[in-house]
Amino acid sequence: MPKTQANLKAQLNTEGYKLTPQRKAILDILIKQRCKHLKCDEIYQLVRSKMPSIGIATVYRTLPLLEKMGFLNRILLDDGLVRYEVSTQGENHSHHHMICTGCGELSEIEVDMLDDLEKQIQKTTGFLVQNHSLRFYGLCQKCQGKLNT
């Protein structure tokens, strides 16, 4: 089943959870910001602009839930703050993150190419690879430009 807004209710119900306006609003915001990677507090601020009465505890409780249901991915960068991104349909296996050490910007790239490496690891170490996370640190084009000034 595709992980879209429309399926939120069904997904929740099959596991005994309920669809609340808060949960809908939070997913809504995240889908609208699709390509962003938002911190909990940023999500809280955004949702609050649509639903001023929501409490931050609800956000903290909803995010892991949406993650468990497969709607979100939790990301931990080097600053130690938890971020979330909307997970593109079942493919948690095919995009990598690039983090600019100049401005901190986080972007994505849609390649994978780790199959060979995974096979090699499995053969060498016996470790059964199920998933991976690959991050590149370096300079985005903007920051490379600034260096030449």
Partner DNA sequence: TTTCTTGCAAAGTCTTTGCAAGGTG
Partner DNA sequence: CACCTTGCAAAGACTTTGCAAGAAA
Give residues with Cβ within 8 angstroms of 137, minimum separation 6: 98, 99, 101
Residue 60 interacts with, from a second copy, DNA, none (CB under 5-8 Å by kind): DNA
Taking the complex as a whole, the smallest distance from the CB of residue 137 to DNA amounts, in Å, to 19
Nearer of residues 10 and 109 to a second copy, judged by Cβ: 109
**Residue 119: strand, helix, or coil:** helix
Output phi, psi for 37, to 5 deg. -120, 105
Question: Which residues would be at the binding site for a second copy (CB under 8 A)?
Answer: 74, 76-78, 80, 82, 98, 100-101, 107, 109, 111, 113-114, 116-118, 120-121, 124-141, 144
**Contact yes or no for 26/44 (Cβ under 8 A):** no
Choice between 58 and 87, CB closer to DNA: 58
Q: Could you tell me the smallest distance in angstroms from the CB atom of residue 116 to a second copy?
A: 8
Residues in region 61-80 near DNA by CB under 7 A: 61-62, 64, 80
What residue 17 binds from DNA, a second copy, none (CB within 5 to 8 A, per partner kind)?
DNA
Alpha-carbon distance of 132 to 149, in angstroms, equals: 38
- By CB under 7 A, is residue 22 in contact with DNA? yes
Cβ distance to DNA smaller for residue 3 or 84:
84
For residues 133, 69, 52 and 81, what is the CA-based torsion angle, rounded to 10 degrees? Answer: -20
Does residue 28 come out as left (phi exceeding 0), alpha (psi in the -120 to 50 range) or beta? alpha
Q: Is residue 39 a contact point for DNA (CB under 7 A)? A: yes
